[in-house]
Structure 1
Amino acid sequence: MKRFLYLILALLTSWTTVSAQTPKWVGKARKAIISIVTYDKDNKIMNTGNGFFVKTDGTAVADYSLFEGAQRAVIINSDGKEFPVDCILGANSMYDLVKFRVQTDKEVDAVTLAKTPAAVGSTVFLLPYASQKENTLGRGTVDAVTQVESKYSYYTLHLQTGDKSVSCPITNTEGEVLGMIQKSADSQSADSYAVDAAFAAELSLNALSRMDYALNNIGIRKGLPEKQDEAQVYLMMSSSLPADDYLALINDYIRQFPASHEGYLRRATFYLDRKGEDNYKRADEDIRQALEVSEQKDDAYYSAAKMLLQIVANGITYSEWTLDKALQYIEEAIKLNPMPLYVQTQGDIYFGKQDYEHAYACYDRVNHSELRSAESLFSAARTKQLMGSQDEALALMDSTVAFFGDLLTEKAAPYVFQRAQMKVEAGKFREAVADYNEYEKLVLGKASAEFFYVREQAEMQCRLYQQALDDIEKAVEMDPKQVLYVVEQVALYTRFSQFDKAVEAARKGIALAPDNADLYRMLGFGQIQLKQKEEGKKNLLKAKELGDPNAQTLLDKYAK
């Protein structure tokens, strides 16, 4: 009997020892560990490895080398279920770390990160990925702790690990995760290394992550920065992504910042660009939703008004997308916050409605505020011009140019050019030419062929003939295939009795536009002046055939 009791006692002791070797928290912690498979562009398996969830929303970490070059990836959880990797949330190639989010159908089990680092000599456990029925784990001690990146721990462990242990978590005796095992150069070594799990868990994206080399070496789409202002910049810089990836990123933004109108309006713009009734319907719903959810109502109404103004300017018609609706939105914004910026937009909407009196009143209000700018002054000048007040318009244009100070720079060039245009319309041609000359200096040799043609037109009006001839020659030199410039060049050569040049230029023009009656008429006239009467007569007849009203008069006078 005694012998039997001793046997029972021995068995109980044995079971207690097994229980002590496998802490109670292992089963729960192991559910957070995942197996990872990455694939290349041909959908072939690249790498397999481990990782673990650090948040219940599906955020996980692993080694960067597992994902480098991958075009897609999947994870297999402790229940054997497979889920796709949705996006990358951060990477550090130097310390071989990557953070990503898995597309799951519910919350996942995540590890608990240790709040304090392990001390030298303390016991740690290695928790590998295993099937549901296994509870195996390794045990070791901390040999050394160093600091990396100023705040994270890097552990040297007395614990032998292999390739299958890479990116598995190291825990303290309470089951809190300290670090993740890193790849070892010597698989037979009794020592191994682990980097702080908090380092991986705190990886993040920022506004400039689109240019990050390590991130760009992963073909899987990237998520968004956690800070809203950085996420907005990142979203703006990502607009060149493939459509599906960009839309997914916008949807991420809406999920991360549900009370921001920015995401809904960006998605509305995305749908607008794709056109069609279905997309317009989606865009309209997003505009309405933006106004509904926004915590910054004034900015939301302002942004929606700007969007409708652009929609109308682009000729898109749908639902209530009108300037009246845009005006309603901007008035709501002004009620909430009478910012000059909103008043400027109100003026733009009135301008679009051709209600120039109200538009000018808005611009004038802005010009008497701290937002007074060259743009607001120009808007007022343009409005006065359309109201028929040329003198007031020019006075406002003078104020616009003066806004840049006495020493003008290239920034002032567009306004100097616009003032020249107004002076042409007012019949002040010499003053216009002076402004055109100033514009040419300001743009530092970047004036276009069109500019030289426009200035030539003004120069002819004030009899600056040599300057006009020089400018039209420059325009043709810069854009020799523009028939309008060639016709004008031939006309000037003809007017100044330079018939050799007129004939040569006319022939080049006809090669570009064989049905241009003006060119045939001037070619014929030039040839007659050069004593090439028969050739000239043929070309005048051709001009008449093409409908030139003056060709017959020239035939009657010169080709008898």
Structure 2
Amino acid sequence: MKKLLSAAFCLLLSLTAQAQTPKWASQARKAIISIVTYDKDNKIMNTGNGFFVKADGTAVSDYGLFEGAQRAVVIDSDGKEFPVDCILGANAMYDVVKFRIQTDKEVDALTLANTPAAVGSTVFLLPYASQKDVTPARGTVDACTQVEGKYHYYTLHLQTSDKTVSCPITNAEGQVLGMIQKSADADAANSYAIDAAFASDLTLNALSRVDHALNSIGIRKGLPEKEDDAQVYLLMSAGLPEADYLALINDYIRQFPTSHEGYLRRATFYMDKKDDEHNKLAEADITRALEVSTRKDDAYYNACKLVYQAVANGLQYPDWTLQRAMQLIEEAIKLRPLPLYVQTQGDLYFGMKDYAKAYECYDRVNHSELRSAESLFSAARTKQVMGANDEALALMDSTVAFFGPLLTEKAAPYVFQRAQMKASIGKYREAVADYNEYERLVLGKANAEFFFIREQAEMQCRLYQQALDDIEKAVEMDPKQVAYIIEQVALYTRFSQFDKAVEAARRGIELAPDNADLYRMMGFGQIQLKQKEAGRQSLLKAKELGDPNAATLLEKYGK
């Protein structure tokens, strides 16, 4: 009889538990995970909870668990361990984080509730459990307030503990309402939950690379969901460690499979390795980019630029040639004859030294809406190489005029190029005028090489004092450039400033002890200063170093 009563009592307990435990709880527990985070020394930092919100392994938890962590793992309800792959969003104020694990299979994820819980309604707290049978704790909603516009924050009549932080709160249908947050008072009868949708909706954007909360987590970050943002984010992430940057590019390819951007960025990454193995991978990515792209013309254009860049960098790989780049840009032009593509075609013709066709391309661009200082300068440069100096100079005038009557620093590079062009055809005074205008435009940022270049033009048009001032300025700015010192000594000698010539020559010889020109000019200066023996020795040294003029000077002055 006792045995029968005992069996009946056990059956009653079992039936009572089943009545209290929702049917969906057993399945829902599979989505709840335990999390372990590690510091830079690979020591355990924190342990906590979270739950999957997407079948691809996307999960949410509390930000405090991850702050400062360098890596993390999750353990599912079956005891399987998965590494955290990347962070997908974080909010330190509301203490939430979103991340994705590394997994090849879909995971069990919880469904988010479409409507908030009403005050007074029953909610269920699902803890992490490795056992198949799990009994959710029951509570009620005491208050529901809005946060961040469309999300909700719950005050619950439900006692929780540190072990239940970041566990889900569900409605009677098992849909997730919120995520339990850390309580300041472990004995309090009330607890709080942030809307699970708020955590699930966390995203990255183009500026997330400079987000303090995200940067406080050492685990690599994922990509923004919008393609434009992802492209900017990828660009800003180029300084990441190589493994993290490559993983980010791979994320981009998975996330945007019909975009050529990811494949071409990965091709660029491989090209930078400069070896046959990676070049082969780069070529495969170029081919794949052209296959998958939904914007074929842009894909061909960017592939062309990539091959062109490989040629410019001297990378040796079959079919990475100007001819291949030309084929690619021609395909782009067939699909969409944008002036930008025609400009690139002109650059390729220029690189192939087909200057007539290059000019035709630039001229087409200059008669389009893309007419710019760059396209005008390209045409001018081409005409100069073709020997049509007057046409080249007229185009350079148009280039500078493109910036309007009041020139700014943006026009400075083209004013300098016009000065160079004028100097090359003997119009030195006009060149000096442009050099002066360039110096004014760059607002004191002209470098030593500029003063050296202007000095040579000034000498050609007999602006001697200006030339002397410029070469002294060049030496002052770059005192270790021997070429500037040689020019300075030559000018001092020409203007009979022999004491300065000798002093400058000595400084130059300290930098270049085998420079025959400096010994010759120093020797000549010493002789003019009545230091005949010292001068003779300097001339002998110049002769020894192979200066053909030193012997003549010795014969004249060395007796």
TM-score by length of 1: 0.98
Q: What's the secondary structure of 1:274's corresponding residue?
A: coil
Deviation (angstroms), 1:131:
1.1
Q: What's the secondary structure of 1:438's corresponding residue?
A: helix
Tell me the equivalent position of 1:211: 210
Paired positions, count: 559
5 Å-filtered alignment, 1:153-232, equals 153-232=152-231
5 Å-filtered alignment, 1:302-451, equals 302-451=301-450
Deviation (angstroms), 1:173:
0.6
Counterpart amino acid of residue 130 in structure 1: A
Counterpart amino acid of residue 266 in structure 2: R
Deviation (angstroms), 1:9:
8.7
Tell me the equivalent position of 1:260: 259
User: Take 2:234 and 2:458, find their aligned partners in 1: how far apart are those partners?
Assistant: 49
Alpha carbons 2:26, 2:132 under 8 Å: kept: no
Query: CA RMSD for the aligned pairs?
Result: 1.5
Q: Deviations over 1:460-492 (max 9, x none)?
A: 000000000000000000000000000000000
User: Take 1:390 and 1:28, find their aligned partners in 2: how far apart are those partners?
Assistant: 81
Q: What's the secondary structure of 1:536's corresponding residue?
A: helix
Deviation (angstroms), 1:153:
0.4
Tell me the equivalent position of 1:135: 134
Alpha carbons 2:61, 2:166 under 8 Å: kept: yes
User: Take 1:114 and 1:480, find their aligned partners in 2: how far apart are those partners?
Assistant: 73
Tell me the equivalent position of 1:523: 522
Counterpart amino acid of residue 412 in structure 2: A
Q: What's the secondary structure of 1:430's corresponding residue?
A: helix
Q: What's the secondary structure of 1:317's corresponding residue?
A: coil
Q: Deviations over 1:300-358 (max 9, x none)?
A: 00001111111111111201111111111101000100100000001011111010000
Deviates further, 529-538 or 316-325: 316-325
5 Å-filtered alignment, 1:87-166, equals 87-166=86-165
Q: Deviations over 1:37-96 (max 9, x none)?
A: 000000000000000000000000000000000000000001100000000000000000
Counterpart amino acid of residue 258 in structure 1: P
User: Take 2:4 and 2:509, find their aligned partners in 1: how far apart are those partners?
Assistant: 119
Deviation (angstroms), 1:158:
0.3
User: Take 1:46 and 1:18, find their aligned partners in 2: how far apart are those partners?
Assistant: 37
Q: Deviations over 1:357-391 (max 9, x none)?
A: 00000000000000000000000000000011000
Q: What's the secondary structure of 1:157's corresponding residue?
A: strand
Tell me the equivalent position of 2:245: 246
Alpha carbons 2:508, 2:518 under 8 Å: kept: yes
Q: What's the secondary structure of 1:105's corresponding residue?
A: coil
Counterpart amino acid of residue 369 in structure 1: S
Deviation (angstroms), 1:132:
2.8
User: Take 2:534 and 2:366, find their aligned partners in 1: how far apart are those partners?
Assistant: 63
Deviates further, 17-26 or 497-506: 17-26
Q: Deviations over 1:488-519 (max 9, x none)?
A: 00000000000010011001110110000000
Counterpart amino acid of residue 100 in structure 1: F
Deviation (angstroms), 1:27:
0.6
Deviation (angstroms), 1:10:
7.8
Counterpart amino acid of residue 497 in structure 1: S
User: Take 1:486 and 1:507, find their aligned partners in 2: how far apart are those partners?
Assistant: 10
Tell me the equivalent position of 2:475: 476
Counterpart amino acid of residue 251 in structure 1: N
Deviation (angstroms), 1:7:
10
Instruction: Give the percent of matched residue pairs that are identical in Structure 1 and Structure 2.
Output: 79
Cα distance change, pair 242–115 in 1 and its aligned pair in 2 (3 A): same
| Unpaired stretches in structure 2, ≥5 consecutive residues | none
Deviation (angstroms), 1:392:
0.4
Deviation (angstroms), 1:15:
4.5
Cα distance change, pair 189–539 in 1 and its aligned pair in 2 (3 A): same
User: Take 1:497 and 1:4, find their aligned partners in 2: how far apart are those partners?
Assistant: 128
Tell me the equivalent position of 2:543: 544
TM-score by length of 2: 0.98
Counterpart amino acid of residue 505 in structure 1: A
User: Take 2:186 and 2:114, find their aligned partners in 1: how far apart are those partners?
Assistant: 30
Counterpart amino acid of residue 19 in structure 1: Q
Q: What's the secondary structure of 1:50's corresponding residue?
A: strand
Q: What's the secondary structure of 2:152's corresponding residue?
A: strand
User: Take 1:265 and 1:147, find their aligned partners in 2: how far apart are those partners?
Assistant: 44
Deviation (angstroms), 1:16:
3.9
